[in-house]
Chain A
Amino acid sequence: MVSGAWWAEPRRRCMSADTLVRDIGTAYGERFGFSMPDRSVLRTEKGLTEATVREISEAKQEPEWMLRFRLRALDLFNLLPMPSWGADLSELRFDEMTYYAKPTEGSSQNWDELPEEIKDTYERLGIPEAERKFLAGVGAQYDSEMVYHHIREDLEKKGVLFSDVETAVREHPEIVKRFFGTIIPPDDNKFAALNSAVWSGGSFVYVPPGVHVEIPLQAYFRVNSQSFGQFERTLIIADEGSFVHYIEGCTAPVFSKDSLHSAVVEIVALANARIRYSTVQNWSSNMYNLVTKRAFAYENAVMEWVDGNIGSKVTMKYPAIFLMGPGARGEVLSIAFAGKGQEQDTGAKVLHFASNTSSVVTSKSISKDGGTASYRGLVKVEAGLTGIKSKVECDALILDPHSKSNTYPVMDIRSENASMEHEARVSKISEEQLFYLMSRGLTEEEAAVMIVHGFIDPLVKELPMEYAVELNRLIELEMEGSVG
């Protein structure tokens, strides 16, 4: 009798050396779900009234035009109906939320100047380290305000602007007034109206003509409070021929009561500019994430959304690209992971308003443990255009019989001879794939994780390496114990 296994016991994880570098298997609660005591210096009362909006505006010492913008938006919010489609929002309680909490008196350019607990939070999340290693600038929002904002000096010298939106309202009103609320007007939808009324924080980025920001800028959004609403507003303008890659990440403590994150992200890519916007959304399981994101791409501009949705209770998010000028291109890469109790209702919208424009939408979703992942997309081609190309590809992987995947693609094509492609596939991990990998010595769980990683690999590759590692890690976390 030969004693023991012929081969060494496998290491617990299957990923290649690069993803094994960090410890894996720490639960969300420990890594991201912690909270700090509330030390906010200003906090509005629970619920949303005109007084709430005035208090926020007052705290920000805003110009009159912004207060008027907010109040009009509040009216719209009260008028507009809840979406009649999409995810289940019946448990969302607007009255239970706190709409504004100011964590510190001012924003800082130095991590060391932040209050200890806030600094600790970001250090646990690895943000200062990431900034040192591979980012050109970082903004960090804590509840309602950006508490930290810093950009590398060389970029500042080239005229790149990177600040919170409040600072931009004060210092660059001409740019803000020209674009703010024009890409996504407050009456676009109920949640855009809500954001417009109570917006706070978010990033303002302006890249001057011809400037290429080769290293990404990042914003990190952290919610610390309970039953809280975070409503940042981001405005990015890439002037002619410029390039910028902007990344956002987000996490929150795990609480028993729900919170709400409702952002508005407005992007403008002027002629020949290129913008890539990457999101790794990892909210806690008590977060409603209802976000409106839209980009205008002018002549020969390129807009790319890379949208990863792992966390939250409910997400409704459909990054949009309006192709406004001839030769503009748009691309949306979307990855959604719906686990226990999660509904990921995500997708993309591309509207072709000019000739010779093209778009590619690639969506991959994974659902397990009763989660629901839905792709909801729109491709619209206006009348009288030529040289239009669009391709939509949706792949869904369902890991168990309790989980669901839906696809709601809409195509509204009003020009003749537009080249449209649409493919949708739903698959399961096959017994033959598992058998094959296990016959090489992988355990069943490891084999399943490898197949899932393989499924999303073409998209994960598009993320900067550190984020690809993080996303892989998050998915391994989600996959833990899911097989066998």
Chain B
Amino acid sequence: MEGVPMKGLQIRGLTARIDEKIIINGLDLTVEDGQIHALMGPNGHGKSTLANILMGHPRYTVQEGAITLDDADLMTLDVSQRARRGLFLAFQYPAEIPGLTVAKFLKRVADLRRDPPKNAAAFLGELKENLKFLEIDPSFVNRYLNDGFSGGEKKRMEILQLLTIRPRFAIFDETDSGLDVDALKVVSAGINRMRGEGFSALLITHYRRLLDLVRPDRVHILERGHIVASGGFELVELLEQDGYDGIRRLVGGTKEAVYER
């Protein structure tokens, strides 16, 4: 692959720490254009950290490795530059911004897009359509961004931003957590709507229920800071039956296993 242009996200030999503690340890991962991959793994083994590092959170120090998106190096870019390259993170716990209305914020981020809405009317048309699709009450846009939102509302808000921003690559950090069945359906529909050429994604999750709705092309298991197993949907089933012990038995003593039935 080296030297050959590749669309999608590539992570090579990533090692990162917070303060002195290594959290990501020699991680390799490739998500090709048009694909959606699932990332699973026990709590505290680095899933959310990986999401934050990809986005460029200043709290983490990358010690080694490379991250490229569509073959462009992300490592030298700050958070907003990465976003403008097409990277998007749907947060597990989105920050609240009192006083900033959803409408004002969405207009601004839509204007930052490569193909911004032609005018305010085009933006509003698009917004209305997205609200309808996500079953969000239109009065929502006059509220302050995430301020006093319920968990479910925050997640819908993340998906509304996804549809507004139309990124190249999206990371969903436990977007399914705390959602009821109806909300989960809406959120999944939002992700599926983006699916296709020019978009790829990493779904971080603990549960099969999201993956039944957003079928991943590939599944990876993250433990102790690196990928210990990669495979198809069977990996999800194995995990559901036997838990992480099942994965560990499968992996045995090796650092990484590829499980294909």
Contacts and interface: CB of A to CB of B under 8 A. Distances in A.
Interface residues of B, number: 43
A456 B98 CA distance: 9
Contacts of A444: 78, 80
Contact of A7 (B57, B70, B84, B145): B84
Given A16-B104, A435-B57, A438-B79, A8 B112 contact: yes
Given A438-B79, A439-B55, A440-B83, A433 B108 contact: no
Contact of B97 (A10, A439, A454): A454
A7 B165 CA distance: 10
A457 B99 contact: yes
A439 B100 contact: no
Given A1-B72, A2-B72, A7-B86, A453 B108 contact: no
A223 to B, nearest CB: 33
B59 interface: yes
A469 to B, nearest CB: 14
Contact of B107 (A7, A16, A451): A16
Given A2-B71, A431-B59, A450-B100, A439 B107 contact: no
Interface stretch (B88-96, B129-137, B213-221): B88-96
B104 A10 contact: no
Contact of B84 (A435, A436, A441): A441
A6 interface: yes
Contacts of A41: none
A437 interface: yes
B97 A433 contact: yes
A433 B95 contact: yes
A381 to B, nearest CB: 31
B114 A435 contact: no
Contacts of A430: 95
A454 B98 CA distance: 6
Contacts of A10: 80, 84, 112
A251 interface: no
B81 A5 contact: yes
A157 interface: no
B84 A5 contact: yes
Interface in A1-46: 1-2, 5-11, 14, 16-17
Contact of B165 (A16, A440, A443): A440
B221 to A, nearest CB: 26
Contacts of A16: 104, 107-108
B144 interface: yes
Interface residues of A, number: 35
A443 B113 CA distance: 14
B59 A11 contact: no
Given A2-B70, A8-B112, A455 B99 contact: yes
Interface string A417-445: 00000000000001111011111111110
Contacts of B120: 17
Given A1-B72, A438-B78, A438-B79, A451 B84 contact: no
Nearest to A432: B95
A173 interface: no
B99 A458 contact: yes
A2 B69 CA distance: 9
B78 A435 contact: no
B66 to A, nearest CB: 14
A450 B101 CA distance: 10
Nearest to B101: A457
A435 B57 CA distance: 7
A472 to B, nearest CB: 12
B114 A8 contact: yes
B78 to A, nearest CB: 7
B100 A431 contact: no
Contacts of B15: none
B99 A453 contact: yes
B210 to A, nearest CB: 21
A435 B81 contact: no
B99 A454 contact: yes
Given A7-B86, A436-B94, A453 B168 contact: no
Interface string B91-128: 10011111110001101110111101000100000000
Interface in B166-181: 168
Contact of B83 (A17, A433, A439): A439
Contacts of A455: 98-99
8 contacts: A6-B84, A7-B112, A8-B114, A432-B95, A440-B105, A440-B109, A441-B83, A450-B100
Given A7-B84, A8-B116, A442-B112, 4 more contacts: A6-B85, A438-B83, A439-B79, A453-B99
Interface of A: 1-2, 5-11, 14, 16-17, 430-433, 435-444, 447, 450-451, 453-458
Q: A-B pairs with the 10 shortest C-beta distances?
A: A454-B99, A457-B99, A436-B95, A438-B79, A441-B83, A454-B100, A7-B84, A6-B86, A441-B112, A438-B80
